[in-house]
Amino acid sequence: MTPRKIEVEMKYEVARPGSADRYLVAPELGPFTPDGQVRSIRVEDRYVDSADWALARAGLAARMRRTSHGTEISLKATNVSPGRLHRREEIEGPADEALVPGGWPSSQARKVVMELCGDEPLVEMLTIRQLRRVRLLTAGGTRAEMSLDEVEVIGQGRVLDTFEELEVELKRGDEKSLESLIGLFDTDPALGAVSRSKLDRAMTSIRAAMPTMPAELRHHWESAPAALLAGGTSTDAAGQVERSGSAADPAPEGTAAEPPAEQAEPQAEQAEPPAEQAEPQAEQAEPPAEQAEPPAEQAVAPAEQAAQPTPRLKPNPRAVGIVADDSMPEAAVKVLRFHFGKMQRREAGTRDGSDAEDLHDMRVSTRRMRAAWRVFDGAFKAGKTRKIRRHLETIADKLGAVRDLDVLIEGLEAYSTGLNEEQRPGLGPLNTLWRRQRGNARAQLISELDSPSYAAFVKEMEEFLEDGANSAAAIASPTSPHRVRDRAASKIWAAYESVRAYELVLPWADVETLHDLRIATKWLRYALEFFGETLGPDFPRLLERVVALQEHLGLLHDADVASKLARDMLVARAGDLSSVESDAIGSYLRSRERELERRRRGLGTVWRAVNGAPFRRALGRATAAL
């Protein structure tokens, strides 16, 4: 039998969003030093079981997670060892989205599931979504992974709970190094040690929501093992019973009082005091998270909380250095210089082609530069930038052609890992076509990078950045709005208005309209990013919600493109493909269509987080700092 993995980790609940961020950027933590940069990972975990709860009755929790390598099933013991370091058995293996264990590739995890559940399809219990900000730590021969997780519990298509956790998991080496962090975290009033899993926390929300569930779903949950539904409380190492809710939140029973969607907005609006009372009663201006519209109100931290003093941190390496008193041309030059430098640093790796991330980052830099011309439109004399912008558009298009095919190929490879050996060759024609197209696109990209026009662009860009002040548009008078503090707010709000305008058509929007919404969301993201250093403390959480909407729409778009290309091949080569190839490509087409529909169904949560009144209030607070 394959040895079972033992997961060793420590977990702390974060009382206030953002209050543990300093640990991610600290130059050292006890004996540990960072190894690499902070990475942001979005994770969606679907928890599944048989219809009769066979896994839960056996003391196991089954989690389905989609990764770059395909879909994986993880089985974890629901019992957690006492003490600050928690140990749990874990078994992992490949799976697929169909939730039929008999169709999964052979693994120890599949064997356990089939022994307990048979070959019947599994049933989805709930979904836990996370934005994980991850950093590796080293101490001698010990390696650990620290993650700050922003968690959403999804049930019945809506957000039932949100919370934030700090976790440190041992990856290799001696546990004693990990134990040295206990004293550091235990003395932090912003952290509360927990010994229950995220699933246990989610059970609290499920119990609170059960009275409002449809009868069939409620009866299903009522048949769950008592130990599973009782997962909301646990005992820490000192024998003290911990609350299931956040240390800073009211008791979670309030979740059941969540108003219907059509009532959420008015209640959120009524929570604000009259204008003349707003300043002295700032701490009362926001209602408790449970009483407001969940997806949006919990998306942003109240300004008065986020502004509390925290230890000074190192400057953000991504900081551009914009200040509110910069003129718009000065700010634009800072943005352009930052991303032009990053573009040049990634050029060698893009030419080499050994790491697709170099090309991806170079493309991102060109996108940011093109966005800067739009966001800072009018800051420079038109004749001084027209040629540079035209060259930049050409480079960005060449990079985009390669990157788009990289995404298609990576998605196809991830899908193929869930197939058996007999099915995988059927995807060969699609894989071959896309790789040939990528080779052609890459050849055109390298030709562009080797061309005299690219060399001229680099020279012109360098000269422009050195001489940006002389290219600035003339200021009509000293009273003309020309500084960041004068112009940024209107730029941001105009971008937000373009996003919110989709509110009326979203319920019946087609894929093309959703693509347009993605572009509008992207411009809002760029406007926030460029001026972020001058905005109030709500800015990071605002940006996260905008990025979540953009990425959700991006995945929807990717699924649509892949399905159309697969359909085109089935039509164009109907007489040439073997039955194995037609079946395999047809199955891939259907999987992309299902993914497209799944993304459309899930759009409401990320949309409300940006479209709701709580987001607008937070955006107002952020821009008021200018």
Q: What is the pLDDT of residues 128-160, one digit of tens each?
A: 988 888 999 999 889 999 998 988 898 877 888
pLDDT of residue 136: 93
Asked if 220 and 206 count as a contact pair (C-beta separation under 8 A), the reply is no
Measured torsion, CA atoms of residues 344, 346, 350, 355, in degrees rounded to the nearest 10: 170
Backbone angles phi, psi at 541, to 5 degrees: -70, -35
Backbone angles phi, psi at 314, to 5 degrees: -65, 150
Among residues 587, 597, 593, 596, which one has the least CA distance to residue 418?
587
Backbone angles phi, psi at 192, to 5 degrees: -130, 120
Among residues 92, 89, 209, which one has the least CA distance to residue 153?
209
* Joined tokens for residue 6: 């033992």
* Joined tokens for residue 266: 């008015």
13-27, 120-134, 564-578: the lowest-pLDDT one: 13-27
* Joined tokens for residue 409: 């190929």
pLDDT of residue 621: 94
The CATH architecture annotation of domain 483-626 reads: Alpha solenoid (1.40)
The mean pLDDT of the chain is 80
* Joined tokens for residue 21: 């961020």
**Helices vs strands, H then E, count in the chain:** 24, 11
**Whole-angstrom Cα distance, residue 22 to residue 364?**
26
User: Confidence class of residue 395 from pLDDT cuts 50, 70 and 90?
Assistant: very high
Backbone angles phi, psi at 85, to 5 degrees: -95, 120
pLDDT of residue 547: 92
User: Confidence class of residue 68 from pLDDT cuts 50, 70 and 90?
Assistant: low
349-388 pLDDT, tens digit each: 999 988 888 999 999 999 999 998 888 887 787 776 788 8
Assign domain 5-229 to its CATH superfamily: Hypothetical Protein Pfu-838710-001 (2.40.320.10)
Q: Do domains 5-229 and 346-409+418-475 have the same CATH topology?
A: no
Among residues 563, 599, 196, 604, which one has the least CA distance to residue 411?
563
**Whole-angstrom Cα distance, residue 568 to residue 425?**
19
The pTM score is 0.53
Which run of H or E residues covers position 175? helix 175-179
**Whole-angstrom Cα distance, residue 343 to residue 373?**
16
Looking at the domain 346-409+418-475, which fold is it?
CHAD domain (1.40.20)
Domain boundaries, the chain: 5-229, 346-409+418-475, 483-626
Across 176-199, b (16+ Cβ under 10 Å) vs e yields ebbeebbeebeebebbbbbbbbbb
Among residues 431, 425, 400, which one has the least CA distance to residue 413?
431
